[in-house]
Amino acid sequence: MSLSSSRRLTVQKFGGSSLADTDKMKHVADIICAQHDQGIQTVAVLSAMGKTTDGLVALANEMTTTPSGREYDMLLATGEMVSASLMAMQLQERGYKAIALNGLQAGITTEDLHNIARIERIDTTYINSLLQNGYICIVTGFQGINSRSEFCTLGRGGSDTSAVALAGALKADACDIYTDVSGVFSTDPRIVSNAIKLDKIAHVEMMELARLGAKVLHPRSVEAARRWGVTVRVRSTFQLNDKGTLVVDESQMSQKDARSVAGVACDKNQARVAVVGLPDQPGMAAKVFSTLAENGVSVDMIIQSIGHNQTTNDIAFTVNTWDLQNADAILKPILKELGAKEVLLDDNVAKVSIVGVGMIDRPGVAAAMFDALAKASVNIKMISTSEIKVSVLVDVEQSSVAVQAIHNAFFSETATEELVPSKLGY
């Protein structure tokens, strides 16, 4: 189909808190109609209403502790179908041509993997014909179908990825992610009241912040935005005058936007595993981590320390909380073979991280983070770094204090002079 070169198309995405009840849904309908009335073709991607997905997960847990992926995803996919159907009805009630499409009807094909599938293809033929015919398309986020037409979900928060992928496939002019905060902040504004809203953030920084726990965007949505060159704006559903935050290519960050640290993130879904008393000889780490990898357990921070008697080592590492029991079950049976003493588990931890392109080659940034934690009496259990991030593992009870202290060090008026955002360039 040939698309008019002058067509204007924007994908809008609305999260669960923007759709928590029918009054909020009607407010969202106002936003969708306002865009359509400007002659802009509109695809709206919707999450499930409020905490619906949590409710569906809880229902599944009442039935079984081991749900089959196929049925679990079929259940979870219904949440988005409720909101999309209701929204289309509301738009039709107002006299608009509107249609609700689930993942199958929207032509979204995923890999054959439940709970955390990646989108592989989007066939836009049907959506494009609907748009050409003046329809507003309301598409369910968070879902697609595999080669056997089974629903596959994209991982919690995955509606952002649905929206950006659709925007890429439809060659939309922009993708607006409407949410319950007015953009991307220097840290979660619900934890730190003086968090600063960022006008722009670079893809690499946003991707890292999202991976490290900043919920505001699904990590894969940022990956997709970068890959397909989609202009993503994060903005508030409730403060429509606010321009929000643009997620841009690094090359579009000006000197004014440059800063040593773009943001502070916190991830409470972390746990620590320690394999204690491993013989101090080659091959031990290889055996531990290859066994975990073969069983699909991803590991993040790793520390090896020498035991008291100097002949053994302890290896500690972090996993996602949902992998903790799995890691234990995998390691316990090989303890004897390894000659190790025991496996210790701790899920009372959180990972707090700073992210910023501007910290490359600036060791002072990590030192300032550790200093802030020391002054706040927060004990660091593990550390890991990359070129653009520093992460520390702390007690979960201390994580909010840690985030606040680190944020003060980099973003308050009393922040260390040479680390103040405006003083640093790339």
> For binding to ligand ADP (CB under 6 A), which residues are involved?
15-18, 47, 157, 179-181, 184-185, 187-190, 214-216, 263
Q: Which residue has the tokens 């107002």?
A: 94
Compute how many residues bind ligand ASP; rule: CB under 6 A. Answer: 12
Lookup: tokens for 343: 């496996």
Rule CB under 6 A: say whether 181 interacts with ligand ASP.
Answer: no
Distance CA 415, CA 400 (A): 19
Distance CA 299, CA 286 (A): 13
Nearer to ligand ADP, 41 or 187 (CB): 187
Lookup: tokens for 289: 């981590």
Other CB atoms closer than 10 Å to residue 345's CB: what's the count?
A: 15
Q: Provide the minimum distance between the beta carbon of 288 and ligand ADP in the complex, in angstroms, as a whole number.
A: 33
Rule CB under 5 A: say whether 356 interacts with Mg ion.
Answer: no
Closest by CA to 284, choosing from 328, 306, 315, 325, is: 315
Nearer to Mg ion, 144 or 157 (CB): 157
Rule CB under 6 A: say whether 142 interacts with ligand ASP.
Answer: yes
Beta strands in 335-388 (DSSP E): 342-355, 382-386
Nearer to ligand ADP, 132 or 320 (CB): 320
Q: Provide the minimum distance between the beta carbon of 180 and ligand ADP in the complex, in angstroms, as a whole number.
A: 5
Q: Provide the minimum distance between the beta carbon of 412 and ligand ADP in the complex, in angstroms, as a whole number.
A: 16
- Restricting to residues 11-30, name those near ligand ASP by CB under 6 A: 15-16
Cβ atoms of 357 and 205 within 8 Å: the answer is yes
Specify the stretch interacting with ligand ASP by CB under 6 A; choose among 150-158, 251-259, 267-275, 418-426. Answer: 150-158
Nearer to ligand ADP, 141 or 277 (CB): 141
Indicate which of Mg ion, ligand ASP, ligand ADP, none lies near residue 48 (CB less than 5 to 8 Å, by partner kind). Answer: ligand ASP
Nearer to ligand ADP, 19 or 172 (CB): 19
What end-to-end distance do the CA atoms of the chain give, in Å? 44
Indicate which of Mg ion, ligand ADP, ligand ASP, none lies near residue 53 (CB less than 5 to 8 Å, by partner kind). Answer: ligand ASP
Rule CB under 6 A: say whether 156 interacts with ligand ASP.
Answer: yes
Specify the stretch interacting with Mg ion by CB under 5 A; choose among 149-157, 239-247, 335-343, 406-414. Answer: 149-157
Indicate which of ligand ADP, Mg ion, ligand ASP, none lies near residue 373 (CB less than 5 to 8 Å, by partner kind). Answer: none
33: helix, strand or coil: helix
Indicate which of ligand ASP, ligand ADP, Mg ion, none lies near residue 79 (CB less than 5 to 8 Å, by partner kind). Answer: ligand ASP
Rule CB under 5 A: say whether 157 interacts with Mg ion.
Answer: yes
Indicate which of Mg ion, ligand ADP, ligand ASP, none lies near residue 101 (CB less than 5 to 8 Å, by partner kind). Answer: none
Closest by CA to 330, choosing from 354, 303, 297, 357, is: 297
Indicate which of Mg ion, ligand ASP, ligand ADP, none lies near residue 17 (CB less than 5 to 8 Å, by partner kind). Answer: ligand ADP
Lookup: tokens for 302: 């790793």
Nearer to ligand ADP, 167 or 216 (CB): 216
- Restricting to residues 67-106, name those near ligand ASP by CB under 6 A: 79
Rule CB under 6 A: say whether 157 interacts with ligand ASP.
Answer: yes
Q: Provide the minimum distance between the beta carbon of 157 and ligand ADP in the complex, in angstroms, as a whole number.
A: 5
**What is the DSSP annotation of 34-102?**
HHHHTT-EEEEEE--STTHHHHHHHHHHHH-SS--HHHHHHHHHHHHHHHHHHHHHHHHHTT--EEEE-
Q: Provide the minimum distance between the beta carbon of 177 and ligand ASP in the complex, in angstroms, as a whole number.
A: 10
| Type of residue numbered 161 | T
Residues 6+ apart with CB under 8 A from 227: 168
123: helix, strand or coil: coil
Rule CB under 5 A: say whether 15 interacts with Mg ion.
Answer: yes
Residues 6+ apart with CB under 8 A from 264: 186, 187, 192, 352, 353, 354, 355, 403, 406, 407, 410
Q: Helix 399-411 to helix 363-375 angle, to the nearest 10 degrees?
A: 130
Nearer to Mg ion, 50 or 421 (CB): 50
Distance CA 274, CA 319 (A): 11
Interface residue with ligand ASP among 50, 103, 107, 141 (CB under 6 A) is 141
Residues 6+ apart with CB under 8 A from 411: 186, 187, 194, 195, 196, 261, 421
Distance CA 252, CA 82 (A): 39
The residue nearest ligand ADP at its CB is 15
Distance CA 178, CA 172 (A): 16
Nearer to ligand ASP, 25 or 382 (CB): 25
Buried b (16+ CB within 10 A) or exposed e, 200-221: bbbbbbbbbbbbbbbbbbbbbb
According to DSSP, the residues that pair with 399 across neighbouring strands are none
- Contact residues toward ligand ASP (CB under 6 A) are 15-16, 47-48, 53, 79, 141-142, 156-159
- Contact residues toward Mg ion (CB under 5 A) are 15, 157
